[in-house]
Structure 1
Amino acid sequence: MLTLKFTNRNKGEEKAGMLKAVYYGAKEKAQSIFVDAIEFEKLYREAGQSSVINLEGEGKKFQVMIKDVSYEPIKYVPNHIDFYVVEKGVKIDAHIPFEFVGVSEAVKTFGGQLVKVMHELHVEAEAVDLPSSLEVDLSALENLDSVIEVKDIKLPKGVELYKTEPDEIIASISKAEEEDLSAPVSGDISNIEVEEKGKKDEGESGDSE
């Protein structure tokens, strides 16, 4: 398990090269701290937001999750971190990002469009059992009617769905048809991502005679 060192921080205190942070938990009073900025960024790239890490300092040691990261608006570098102290035997809910792998035959061969409807899964587990990501194999999308649903994802031991239905669609194939721009659009489509990777018409590759 990855480890990050901390020192206590007084109100209004600043230190060069250090990030302001706070740790707290259901049974742990909030404490303002400093962590090394470079060490945190290295750890965050490796652990992500759903992994459990050791937080050590001032004679104390906690298992924590990175609950929230605030960023400086112009340079967009971290300027404050919230660490949540986890309890052994207590389940928590978290959003785990999908890692899309493989190639869809429906896109490669039949000219379909890959539609990613979900990008993360809401699950519940003890903090130590939470994965950093969940793999979605796009090769399961073999034809234009194929879909990948939540129930198709193999969850690690101890991890369960949380406020998510098994038949919710993660990814599907859309037929590459000409859009009717006059048709009204309904529903929330802000999280839907469409990738156009179908075959090009043969006539597009050469000049007309």
Structure 2
Amino acid sequence: MNTLAAEPRTITGKAVKALLLEDRMPAVVYGPKKEATPVTISLREFKRILRENGESVVVDITGIGASMQALIQEVSRDPITNEPRHADFYAIEKGAKVEVAVPISFIGESQAVKEGASLVKVIHEIEVEADPSKLPNEIEVDISSLATIGDQIRISDIKFPTGVVVKLEADEIVVLVQHVAEEEETTEAPNMDAIEVEQKGKTDESEEAAAE
């Protein structure tokens, strides 16, 4: 399991930006039996964990008392660079299971899509419950079974790791293939009555001008 060494943090507010220049990122650890504790962690190490595991990952946090397992609850990012700037960690009670939204990784190639159909990804993550040690970083969904228009993959079609309980309905659609929507060009028919009235009006005006 990934480990992050945390240090207690007293700096708050705008001053925390200076920590990032020292490869330290502000964070907070909290839980049912853990009072919210401001800390700093290694920015480089945190980015490595995200890169290799995604955000749905449990880490061991050390340095603030007894070592504890915590789930990455939320990551705040810079709106321009998308670099992580702050993280919330949810401390997990020993022996407790966790619920988390695990991202879907779509793999394989659909024959229907190769032939011009449109692939519609209905959901992009799946809510699951599991022991922290059995929590998957992602759930693979193979779309190679989508061979013809109308084919679908539902939750019940996916094989989940042992010990992982899915919190969605079994018949919920995950992905499907359908015809590519075509925009129909519509040409509005001209209003002949309006044209006739307009032309008549011009004729009347011409006759009046000639009479003058």
Q: Flag whether TM exceeds 0.5 (same fold).
A: yes
Separation (CA, whole Å) in 2 of partners of 1:181 and 1:35: 58
Paired position in structure 1 for 2:56: 50
8 Å Cα contact 1:51/1:128 also seen in 2: no
Say whether 1:161 aligns with 2:154.
no
Question: Structure 2 matches for 1:59-208, cutoff 5 A?
Answer: 59-108=65-114, 110-162=115-167, 164-180=168-184
Separation (CA, whole Å) in 2 of partners of 1:60 and 1:73: 35
> Over residues 96-128 of structure 1, what are the superposed CA-to-partner deviations in whole Å (9 max), with x where a residue is unaligned?
1111110011122x4211111111111122222
**What 5-or-longer segments of structure 2 have no aligned partner?**
187-212
When residues 79 and 151 of structure 1 are mapped into structure 2, their CA distance, relative to the original with a 3 A threshold, is: same
Give the secondary-structure state (helix, strand or coil) at the position aligned to 2:161: coil
The aligned amino acid for 2:144 is: S
User: Would you identify which runs of 4 or more consecutive aligned residues in structure 1 move more than 3 Å?
Assistant: 179-182
Give the secondary-structure state (helix, strand or coil) at the position aligned to 1:100: strand
Residue 21 of structure 1 deviates from its aligned partner by: 0.5
Larger radius of gyration: 2
Q: Which has the higher helix share?
A: 2
Greater mean alpha carbon deviation, residues 173-182 or residues 124-133: 173-182
Identity, % of aligned positions: 39
- Equivalent pairs counted in the alignment come to 180
The aligned amino acid for 2:28 is: V
The aligned amino acid for 2:97 is: K
> Over residues 54-110 of structure 1, what are the superposed CA-to-partner deviations in whole Å (9 max), with x where a residue is unaligned?
1111453111111111122333321111111112332221111111110011122x4
Separation (CA, whole Å) in 1 of partners of 2:46 and 2:107: 28
Give the secondary-structure state (helix, strand or coil) at the position aligned to 1:157: coil
Paired position in structure 2 for 1:198: none
**What 5-or-longer segments of structure 1 have no aligned partner?**
183-209
Separation (CA, whole Å) in 1 of partners of 2:180 and 2:81: 40
Q: CA RMSD in A?
A: 1.8
8 Å Cα contact 1:23/1:85 also seen in 2: yes
Paired position in structure 1 for 2:36: 30
Higher-RCO chain (CA-CA 8 Å, sequence separation at least 6): 1
Paired position in structure 1 for 2:9: 9
Q: Which has the higher strand share?
A: 1
Give the secondary-structure state (helix, strand or coil) at the position aligned to 1:60: coil
Greater mean alpha carbon deviation, residues 74-83 or residues 23-32: 74-83
Paired position in structure 2 for 1:206: none
